[in-house]
Amino acid sequence: MPETTLQEVAAIADSVEADAAAAAGADTAINWQSASRTDLGRVRHMNEDAFLDSEDQRLWVVADGMGGHSRGDYASSAVVRHLREFPHQHAALANLKDLEARLQAANEECRTAFRNKRPGTTVAAMLAHGSHVFFLWAGDSRVYRLRDGQLEQLTLDHSVAQEKHARGELTREEARTHDTAHVLTRAVGIRENLKLELDYTQVEPGDRYLLCSDGLYNPVETQDIASLLGQGTPEDACEALVEAAIKNGGPDNITVIVVAAAPPG
């Protein structure tokens, strides 16, 4: 499936911005509510995950520092630091270009911060704009959507196993447990030019979005994620998801952001 480009987003930007302008004063405006939690897990000695949970910016980010590289904690923190001052603008395309530029700056920082180290991290970012949400990601941190009880993975992992699955060499289940599932083909800090993937979808009131590191979805079955994501408030869902990962062994750092698209009132 071809990747969405900024040029394609430009083609829909006018309609998205019209939606945003209408929603700003309409009774149908989305009321965004979010909660987040991160946990060391039961095996790791350091939490190399970082996250940004900002209802004000309508921006949510998970970054999972790569343990196979030096200072993964530095890389994930750099991503969040560069995005923390993001100014939400009226134009969808301007917002996306700004986010991309900030992530490219984080990529450059990771490549030049240390003489003999090359810190790396995944990133999954979700930006709400009007009646749409946009996703920018690199690596295997994920974004899911729960709609009418159905869980859908909205991002595809950038891993060798996912590429093998796309070529028909592995089934989805085989790809999940394959030796190359954690061999990433894209990440912040690894190459001179960061290649991000971009996608978007329209929001419906009642949607719930989940951003998470692989410390959640590896030990917790998909059907359990769906069930727990729909529980109570976003805070309730966060707690339940992280506790499920810990109960199943907590083999990695666990970071979860739950974002609810609620009608006003």
CATH at 73: 3.60.40.10
Smallest CA-to-CA distance from 84 within 29, 143, 125 is with: 125
Report, in this order, helix, strand and coil percent for the chain, each rounded to 5. Answer: 35, 25, 35
pLDDT of residue 27: 45
Smallest CA-to-CA distance from 89 within 98, 81, 100, 80 is with: 98
- pLDDT 10s digits, 184-237: 999 999 999 999 999 999 999 999 999 999 999 999 999 999 999 999 999 999
- pLDDT 10s digits, 90-110: 888 899 999 999 999 999 999
Asked whether residue 219 is domain-assigned, the answer is: no
pLDDT of residue 7: 67
- Between 12 and 41, whose confidence is greater? 41
Asked whether residue 227 is domain-assigned, the answer is: no
Q: How many helices (H) and strands (E) does the chain have?
A: 8, 10
Model confidence at 44, pLDDT cuts 50, 70, 90, reads very high
Q: How many domains does the chain have?
A: 1
> What's this model's pTM, rounded to 2 decimal places?
0.93
**Both tokens of residue 94?**
């301007």
Model confidence at 257, pLDDT cuts 50, 70, 90, reads very high
- pLDDT 10s digits, 173-187: 777 778 888 889 999
Asked whether residue 18 is domain-assigned, the answer is: yes
Asked whether residue 20 is domain-assigned, the answer is: yes
Look up the domain containing 200 and give its range. Answer: 6-33+46-207
% of the chain at pLDDT higher than 90: 70
Asked whether residue 262 is domain-assigned, the answer is: no
Residue 105: C-alpha distances to residues 48, 175, 188, 194, 216 (Å): 20, 32, 10, 9, 28
| Distance in angstroms between the alpha carbons of the first and the last residue of the chain | 39
Asked whether residue 133 is domain-assigned, the answer is: yes
pLDDT of residue 16: 64
**Per-residue pLDDT for 129 more than 80?**
yes
Asked whether residue 103 is domain-assigned, the answer is: yes
